[in-house]
Amino acid sequence: MSTPPTDPESLAKRRVPCMVSFLNPFRLLNGSELQPWTVTIEDVNSHSWDYTALHELVGGVDVGLPEPYNMVFSRDGCVALPQLPRLRNDLEAVEFFNRCFAAMLLGGVYCEAISLDGLDFGSIIDWKYIRVNTDAPASANRFHRSVRLRQASPLEAIALLDPRTTELADLRAAVTTGRAILEAVPELSGEFFLKGVTGVARRDWGGALGHLWIVIEQITSSLWEHRIVKPAMAADPIRGRVDQLADTRTFSAAVRHEILHQVGVLPRETLTKLFDARKARNALTHTGRHPTAVAAQNAYKAVTELLRVAVSGLPLPLLNLDLADHALLDPFASRTTGISPTHWMEIPKLPGEVELERLEAKHRRSLTLRRRSS
């Protein structure tokens, strides 16, 4: 058996530095060359799941980097980018990650925005595994660190038992579609779009509305340029007219929306949603009044409708996503559906809790007997 080379160049090829983040919510990625993921409740309870498989490289996706660079993924949703000069700034790196995630979301694969606390650093080993070397404090990063090191408690590791899964081929298709949408509307910031949708799913109505209104103005600017300014200049190039049409004091967002509606670009239903979102956004900005869920959701619907107009002819798989499938539940909403547990664990009792439960059960039984006898 030959001895592996130990010169610096050969070693450098075996461990390639990278920036790392994670797809959130947690999901596993499948690739055609990987063995199917299997884990049992016994593996979870005994900390014996296949941690190596979580590190396995699934493949790469073209995200517009110069050749030969790609964004690469491991099985557990770890996402790695090369440490190129243009990305060696924390804000630019996070923005680029979020733009790629926005492309996935637009292409129909749900994912959420990361912040600076979700940025890690690591290395690609032998082009087979992605190793994370730092300790970013975001909850997704902490979860992945614990399961990759087999240090997660069974309460956390139960997420490995029946996770959401996505095929790498579907992820590639989503990114390709999403990038085409972002390129069709260059004014659109993928990061603000992603943060706005994340806010809707997280029930952060103020954050959602604030970010989505930025997106609304960006898409509005694109529509105004292509549907109003350019046709006007082509038909009647009056001197100074471009400057006048570009004056946001005269042609504010509200005025632009109204004109775009009058010329048939925006339907009445979209105008209604924009009016509601703008009113709530102004109240948020000027008085600090928190918007309602309806106002934030109208802003999201307005964004999707504006996008549909702006990218006319391009598919918009985002519209097929049900955000409710990924959203936090209203903690005050009544629970009308039951649960069908497949596993259970004993919860340690607090002092006096066993006696309290016994008395509560006795009280419920007595109430039941009274109702039956009455």
pLDDT band at 32 (very low <50, low <70, confident <90, very high): confident
pLDDT of residue 113: 95
Average of pLDDT values for 198-214? 96
More confident site: 66 or 340:
66
Contact yes or no for 99/93 (Cβ under 8 A): no
* Residue bearing tokens 């007595």: 366
190-323 fold: Four Helix Bundle (Hemerythrin (Met), subunit A) (1.20.120)
Contact status, residue 252 vs residue 282, Cβ threshold 8 Å: no
The residue type at 158: I
Instruction: For 314-372, give the DSSP string.
Output: S--GGGG--GGGTSPPPTTS---S----S---PPPPPTTHHHHHHHHHHHHHHHHHHHH
Q: In what order do the strands lie in the sheet with 71-74?
A: 57-61, 71-74, 78-82, 15-22, 120-125, 129-132
* Overall average pLDDT of the 196-213 stretch: 96
Q: 16 or 345: which carries more pLDDT confidence?
A: 16
Radius of gyration (C-alpha) of the chain in whole angstroms: 26
Inform me whether the pLDDT recorded for 247 exceeds 70: no
Q: Which of 245-249, 272-276, 339-343 has the lowest mean pLDDT?
A: 245-249
- Number of neighbours of residue 58 by Cβ within 10 angstroms: 24
78-82 and 71-74 strand pairing? antiparallel
Element (H, E) at 93: helix 90-106
Q: How large is the average pLDDT for residues 181-191?
A: 96
Specify whether the CB–CB gap between 152 and 146 falls below 8 A: yes
Residue 28: predicted pLDDT:
96
H-only helix segments in 110-266: 139-148, 154-157, 168-184, 190-201, 205-224, 230-235, 241-245, 253-262
Q: What is the pLDDT of residue 240?
A: 64
What HEC string does 201-226 produce?
A: HCCCHHHHHHHHHHHHHHHHHHHHHH
**pLDDT tens digits, 248-269:** 666 888 999 999 999 999 999 9
SS3 of residue 274 by DSSP: helix
Answer yes or no: is pLDDT of 290 > 80: yes
Q: What type of residue is 153?
A: S
Is-contact 16 38, C-beta < 8 A?
no
Q: What is the pLDDT of residue 235?
A: 65
Sketch the domain layout of the chain as residue ranges.
9-184, 190-323
- Pick 148 or 339 by higher pLDDT: 148
Per residue in 47-58, pLDDT tens?
A: 999 999 999 999
Nearest CA to 297 out of 180, 366, 196 is that of: 196
Reply yes or no: is the peptide bond before residue 25 cis, omega within 30 of 0: yes
C-alpha dihedral (82, 83, 87, 88), degrees to nearest 10: 170
Average pLDDT of the residues of the chain? 92
